[in-house]
Structure 1
Amino acid sequence: MLMKSATHSLTEQLSDRFAQRIRDRLLAPGARLPSVRQCALQTGVSPSTVVSAYDKLLALGLVEARKNSGFFVRETRAEPPSAPGSMSKQRTVRAWEPDTVQAPRGNSAPIDATALIRGMFHKVSNKPQPGMGVFPPEWLESTFMPAAVRKVTGTRALHDFSLQYGEPMGDSGLRRMLATKLATLSVPATPENIITTVGATHALDIVSRTLLRAGDHVMVEDPGWAVEFARLNAMGMRLLPVPRKPYGPDLDVMARYCEVHQPKLYVSVSVFHNPTGYCLAPGNAHRLLQLSTTHGFHIVEDDTYSHIAPEHATRLCALDGLQRTIYVSGFAKILAPNWRVGFLAAHPSLIERLLDTKLLATLTTPALMERALALCMAQGQLRRHAERIKSRLDAARSRAVKLALNAGVSFAAEPAGLFGWVDTGVDTDALAQRMLDEGYLLAPGALFHAERKPSTLMRINFATTQDAVFWKKYSEMVKTMR
């Protein structure tokens, strides 16, 4: 609710609120503002005040009015360059392919993917945030990491590290430990097949910059990871959304894409898929690898949640032996977000090209953090830490599911891993904006689709949805929207 003030009118307060959210990317390009009537009810002001506030936003160039549709946040970003020889600036494929495999029309990122990322740095409130994609900081606290850092930064070691670049491929000790770790997952990689990176997202970026050029077609899971959609879009790629089913990707859709578009890459989360929690079934994995061999595209397998996943879960890289697959993972989720240590494992024929891309972007990666991580792995501390996190997450998931069901949501996918994919029965874009007023950052379903579409689904973080107060507020808000 807005309050009358001697210094700021209600119109100014309301327009300033929306303007700040737009500038912070909490209201992203293409997002629809509440209708005049809805906004008046939500904020306790008159419809004329809302109209005046929206007019001010129009004058500032932050929103645009669409006839019979309402007010929408303006897109202010420049379009990426067209692919060489292209006659169109569109980043997505147009209409001549079959309807069942038609690529998205228009901008692919439905709600700015940076909204949730910014939420990690600029907290909406001190309340638990259901839309966040990470474990709470208190879950990650440990004593062994500071001890490892102190050990590897002894006076002589710190001097040696500081006065020279690290190894181009990453600390050799860490790469040996990573090879051992991958062996437990049946992924055949030697230290020479592994390159360390500044987090898993950097690894994904290295792969795409090495294998792709602007205008190339890339198959992505839908629903899938919004940050990856935004990153590929920014590089000028043409996204081909593949429906993600409980057993894996829709292979019929993929086969048609291959026949029509000759995609260069498929980006997949096989285990504890984000946002659904699905895990890949062996039969689907075998058929997918056959498709990759037949049509010549690579697969990058993002195994970010490997530390909380069962070792026996089906992974494409284990079945394929890194022939056409590239394995990506990291440690920010489970250990230390600010260390930014990730890695990739690939076939020897790709390693030099991938390494060149890394060197052009970052030269090397921080040897101090990598060596400390290798020590934590060698002493078994990381494994025990992950086991504690898994146990705590299992208990949290059980509590969160009960609270969610009592609040009237249904699960669109069997609860598993860190995330739940739930159906609210209302437009979650609108719900997210209302809950933001209450200090809660949600992750609406539209965020996880390669093409903007209204959705009643949203992703919840089981670790941050154990608060009964949140679910009570959620229930009250949903009742006003039905």
Structure 2
Amino acid sequence: MPTATHPPLQRGASQPLAGQLAERYAQRIRERLLLPGARLPSVRDCARQHGVSPHTVVAAYDQLQAAGLLEARRQRGFFVRETRPAAATRLPHAAAAAAPRQAPMDATALIRGMFEADAARSPGLGTLPADWLDPALLQSALRRLHDAQAHAVQLSYGDPSGDERLRNALGQRLADLGIHAGPAQILTTNGATHALDLIIRSQLQPGDAVLVDDPGWAIMFARLTQAGIRLLPVPRGARGPDLDVLAALAAQHGPRAYLTVSVLHNPTGHSLDLAGAHRLLRLADEHDFFIVEDDSYGFLASEHAPRLAALDGLRRVTYVSGFSKVLTPAWRVGYLATAPERLRALTDTKLLDGLTSSPVLERAVALCLEQGRLRRHAQRLRERLATARQRVASLATRQGFSWAAPPDGLFGWLNVGVDTERLAQPLLDAGWLTAPGALFSATRRPGPLMRINMATSLDPAFWRALRACVDDLRGRATTP
């Protein structure tokens, strides 16, 4: 019997089983869900996963080699070839069937997964599921906007710095966090990702070295690399970033900046304590680099958690946040707060990028903040997540798994004991979209860790499937 249940190969279809299997892997290679150098399952393992004969697998792998997508390495197995994009063409006579769900194996695949994922079957999701959000809060803000300020807000480009009413409300939000920044030090953006992009384009140059958390955010690794930036990975574990390694890297390479998540780090869930924050700021002074503090998950954390920007007074730290994680991903509203001397270049880059950000959505977010309803919604989310974490921790313990760092906020960093990149494929075939640890590594380092979303991992069926797949991989590793 096959171990793969989603989606099955179609026996008796017009396309032979070997062609269907080849097209399945070709699709994953075309979409860069299997990257150059990735190893495919052995012939025996692949046959068992898909319930076909080894002869069928050999025929499928032969087709992939003929298409230039795969190469066989003597006594090692089959590997994805390094090819130019044009070479990843569709196999001859492939069936025009809907593409199966695919495991996220690089930054662009992760973004696609955000749009395509079914939260109920996506333990690796990077956001809250839709049914955790508050549509009534959004509708109320839009109604109030249309009742009171529709014409003034909707009939102009808006202020390049951002809606003034929102910047005033953000000033109060920052004050609650101990960050003192008036409206003149705040720039609104099309989401937190846009804010980070503006910083890369206006504050960094090709060839600059930049410290990054490892594990960290794959999309940011991709953006920095695309801009010609040299990445200096700083190991991050249960106790946060390894500041001894950071100090050594800073002394050797003279980095221009450090991009980090200080509170509810993605993917470990770790938050910096005061001692770590103070030492990090001293290192920034000693080695003359600036810090970008990404607080995208800040609404899911206590306001009392120390922020680098509060301790530093926005001298070396630029603070970045947004509202997609707690309001709705559809409202692309983010912002940054920084020193006045850095703000001009950032504003100019925003102007060249797209003139302004949406004054309508920014005013709606301002109303959510002013009413106090966003604060109450965030409190409910924190309470619900605390309950979910207890439930997920119990499910993980029941199946014999442990955490690499104490779970907090939305994420947990789970140790399953086998290579999670290899594990992602059989789990995907069983219908579960996961986030293997290599996805969060600046060097795509394989390992036994994976990100778990506390809000989308409450189904015991996932944990049973995870246990079964882990045991299957271990069994194959010990079979002579």
Question: Which residue in 2 is equivalent to 1:459?
Answer: 451
The one of 225, 233, 239 equivalent to 1:233 is 225
Distance of 1:322 and 1:126 partners within structure 2 = 37
Residue identity matched to 1:152: L
The question of whether the paired residues in 1 share the 8 Å contact of 2:133 and 2:328 is answered with yes
The one of 27, 47, 61 equivalent to 1:20 is 27
Question: Which residue in 2 is equivalent to 1:152?
Answer: 145
Instruction: Give the superposition deviation at 1:282.
Output: 1.2
Say if 1:442 and 1:212 are closer, same or farther in 2 by CA, change over 3 A.
same
Question: How many aligned residue pairs are there?
Answer: 449
Q: Report matched runs for 1:351-390 at 5 Å.
A: 351-390=343-382
2:475 aligned with 1:468, yes or no? no
Distance of 1:152 and 1:410 partners within structure 2 = 48
Say if 1:75 and 1:152 are closer, same or farther in 2 by CA, change over 3 A.
farther
Distance of 2:73 and 2:360 partners within structure 1 = 54
The question of whether the paired residues in 2 share the 8 Å contact of 1:329 and 1:343 is answered with yes
The one of 62, 83, 88 equivalent to 1:55 is 62
Q: TM-score, normalised by structure 1?
A: 0.89
Question: Which residue in 1 is equivalent to 2:241?
Answer: 249
Distance of 2:470 and 2:237 partners within structure 1 = 28
Say if 1:158 and 1:25 are closer, same or farther in 2 by CA, change over 3 A.
farther
The one of 129, 137, 144 equivalent to 1:136 is 129
Residue identity matched to 1:150: R
Distance of 2:319 and 2:13 partners within structure 1 = 59
Instruction: Give the superposition deviation at 1:310.
Output: 1.0
Instruction: Give the superposition deviation at 1:470.
Output: 1.1
Question: Which residue in 2 is equivalent to 1:433?
Answer: 425
The one of 269, 276, 280 equivalent to 1:284 is 276
Question: Which residue in 2 is equivalent to 1:118?
Answer: 112
Distance of 1:464 and 1:146 partners within structure 2 = 25
Distance of 1:27 and 1:234 partners within structure 2 = 20
In structure 2, list runs of 5 or more residues that go unmatched: 1-7, 86-103, 475-480
Residue identity matched to 1:299: I
Say if 1:355 and 1:30 are closer, same or farther in 2 by CA, change over 3 A.
farther
Residue identity matched to 1:473: A
Deviations along 1:49-108, one digit per CA (max 9) or x if unpaired, are 112212222222333334443333344568xxxxxxxxxxxxxxxxxxxxxxxxxxxxxx
The question of whether the paired residues in 2 share the 8 Å contact of 1:65 and 1:72 is answered with yes
Q: Which stretch of structure 1 is more off in the superposition, 307-316 or 167-176?
A: 307-316
Deviations along 1:258-285, one digit per CA (max 9) or x if unpaired, are 2221110101111111111111121121
Deviations along 1:232-281, one digit per CA (max 9) or x if unpaired, are 11111110001124343222222222222111010111111111111112
Which SS does the other structure have where 1:15 is aligned?
helix
Question: Which residue in 2 is equivalent to 1:32?
Answer: 39
Which SS does the other structure have where 1:266 is aligned?
strand
Distance of 1:146 and 1:381 partners within structure 2 = 12
In structure 1, list runs of 5 or more residues that go unmatched: 79-109
Question: Which residue in 2 is equivalent to 1:271?
Answer: 263
Instruction: Give the superposition deviation at 1:23.
Output: 3.0
Distance of 1:55 and 1:331 partners within structure 2 = 49
Question: Which residue in 1 is equivalent to 2:190?
Answer: 198
Which SS does the other structure have where 2:235 is aligned?
strand
RMSD between superposed Cα atoms in Å: 1.8
Q: Report matched runs for 1:385-396 at 5 Å.
A: 385-396=377-388
Distance of 2:257 and 2:76 partners within structure 1 = 37
Question: Which residue in 2 is equivalent to 1:85?
Answer: none
Distance of 2:166 and 2:13 partners within structure 1 = 61
Question: Which residue in 2 is equivalent to 1:99?
Answer: none
Say if 1:52 and 1:339 are closer, same or farther in 2 by CA, change over 3 A.
same
The one of 77, 86, 95 equivalent to 1:70 is 77
Distance of 2:33 and 2:301 partners within structure 1 = 31
Q: Report matched runs for 1:399-414 at 5 Å.
A: 399-414=391-406
Distance of 2:277 and 2:13 partners within structure 1 = 65
Deviations along 1:109-139, one digit per CA (max 9) or x if unpaired, are x93122222112123x574310100001000
Say if 1:446 and 1:6 are closer, same or farther in 2 by CA, change over 3 A.
closer
Which SS does the other structure have where 2:455 is aligned?
helix
Residue identity matched to 1:34: P
Q: Report matched runs for 1:412-427 at 5 Å.
A: 412-427=404-419
Distance of 1:371 and 1:77 partners within structure 2 = 45
Say if 1:441 and 1:455 are closer, same or farther in 2 by CA, change over 3 A.
same
Deviations along 1:365-417, one digit per CA (max 9) or x if unpaired, are 00000001101110101011111111111111111111111112111111211
Say if 1:161 and 1:60 are closer, same or farther in 2 by CA, change over 3 A.
farther
Instruction: Give the superposition deviation at 1:347.
Output: 0.5
Deviations along 1:408-436, one digit per CA (max 9) or x if unpaired, are 21111112111111111111111101111
Instruction: Give the superposition deviation at 1:41.
Output: 1.1
Percent identity over the alignment?
A: 55
Which SS does the other structure have where 2:263 is aligned?
coil
Say if 1:53 and 1:284 are closer, same or farther in 2 by CA, change over 3 A.
same
The one of 241, 259, 277 equivalent to 2:251 is 259
Question: Which residue in 2 is equivalent to 1:311?
Answer: 303
